[in-house]
Amino acid sequence: MLSISLKQYSYLVGAADHGNLTVAAAALHISQPAISVAIAAMEAHFGQLILLRRQGQGVSLTPFGRDVVQQARRVLNQAARTERLRADSGPLTGQVIFGSYLDLAAYYVPGLLRGFARKHAGVGVTLRTVDFETVSPQLESGAIDLALSFGLGLGPAVERIVLTQQRPHAILAADHPLARKRSVSLRQLARYPLVLADQALSREHILALFSTAGIEVGATMQAGTFEFLRGLVANGLGVAVVYSRPRSDRSYDGKKIVELAIADNLPPHPILLAKLKSASLNRAAQAFSEYVVASFRSARN
């Protein structure tokens, strides 16, 4: 007889993922006292604290709690695999937790969710935004099943499926001195302030394009979101090297933005679907993975 139920394990994993018992309870469609009682019972069973509770600051895992949550995920994954033995012949149901890098989410994810829902109405897809620093830890902890990302920061435990590739290009204000050119070099761009994303790996990647070419970059500024970056560029506060290509040539405040090819021979950068190599996806996640790959393949043809 198991001393801890699968339900208790799921409550604990939910609390760990959300960092807040009230938020976790809402996501699990249970009451907050129910999740508190379940975790308290687990702590009594182990004789150790699993969660640190801070008034007004949510909860965090103790070192022992991290070990328990890691094992809890394995137990839940194994239980899901066993359950699939019964469900394999029936209609596709289940849950997928899908992480996406924020800039890519705006372009691709709404269409993917819409198309997948039409094929598999019984599957629920929960979307979480990730950045380059958090995508690998979230995959490795089981917080997400799959991730759409440019691939920066992925660890060796992560499997990468290349969906498509994009080359970098420059964006400038419509009245910028370089805006009438057909293409522009990195050396020409380096004469002007460079607007960068404020994520470390993204910023380092763009700066490495210049440093690899032996070009020193002068003044820089950082933007917290891609649209803020475009707004700074559109208002003449700098130039930028980016991979994303919005259909609109206007910033949020209506200023025109010009895209130019970069004359330097820069390699393309892949857009990836990532998953943990050791993970066994449930039927729903496997179907969603296959749908994403097929959708990108269809778009290329």
- pLDDT of 300: 75
What pLDDT, on a 0 to 100 scale, did the predictor assign at position 223? 93
31 vs 116 pLDDT, higher one: 116
Average pLDDT, the chain: 89
Q: Which residues pair with 258 in a beta bridge?
A: 172
Structure tokens belonging to residue 40: 């308290």
**Distance separating alpha carbons of residues 19 and 12, to the nearest angstrom:** 10
> Residue 189 — very low, low, confident or very high, per pLDDT cuts 50/70/90?
very high
94-165+270-300 and 168-266: identical CATH topology: yes
The confidence score (pLDDT) of residue 23 equals 86
Residue 215 pLDDT greater than 90, yes or no: yes
Instruction: Read off the pLDDT of each residue in 230-236 and give the average, rounded to a whole number.
Output: 97
Among 76-85, 93-102, 113-122, 260-269, name the one with the lowest average pLDDT: 76-85
Report whether pLDDT(89) > 70: no
User: What's the pLDDT score for residue 113?
Assistant: 95
User: pLDDT band at residue 247, thresholds of 50, 70 and 90?
Assistant: confident
Query: Which residues lie below 8 Å from residue 44, measured CB to CB, with a gap of 6+?
Result: none
In this structure, whether the domain defined by 168-266 belongs to CATH 3.40.50.2020 is answered with: no
Task: Please report the pLDDT score of residue 106 as a whole number.
Answer: 87
For residue 84, pLDDT beyond 80 = no
The per-residue b/e assignment along 99-115, b for 16 or more CB within 10 angstroms, e otherwise, is bbbebbbbebbeebeee
Report the pLDDT value the prediction gives residue 49, as an integer from 0 to 100: 92
CB 58 within 8 A of CB 20: yes
| Tens-place pLDDT, residues 280-293 | 788 899 999 999 99
Report the distance separating Cα 61 and Cα 82, nearest Å: 28
Query: Percent of the chain having pLDDT more than 70?
Result: 96
Q: What is the mean pLDDT of residues 93-101?
A: 91
Task: Identify which has the larger pLDDT, 92 or 210.
Answer: 210
Which of 115-124, 134-143, 165-174, 179-188 has the lowest average pLDDT?
134-143
pLDDT tens readout for residues 99-156? 999 888 888 999 999 999 999 999 999 998 888 888 888 888 888 899 999 988 888 8
pTM reported for the whole predicted model: 0.68
CATH classification number, 6-87, choose in 1.10.10.10, 3.60.21.10, 3.40.50.300, 3.40.50.2300 = 1.10.10.10
Closest to 194 (Cα-Cα) out of 210, 214, 213, 174? 210
Three-state secondary-structure class, residue 99: strand
pLDDT computed for residue 88 by the predictor: 56
pLDDT at residue 90 is higher than 70? no
Domain residue extents for the chain: 6-87, 94-165+270-300, 168-266
Predicted local confidence at residue 152, as pLDDT: 85
- CATH class for the region spanning 94-165+270-300: alpha beta
Q: What angle do CA 247, 145, 165 make, to 5 degrees?
A: 35
pLDDT recorded at residue 87: 54
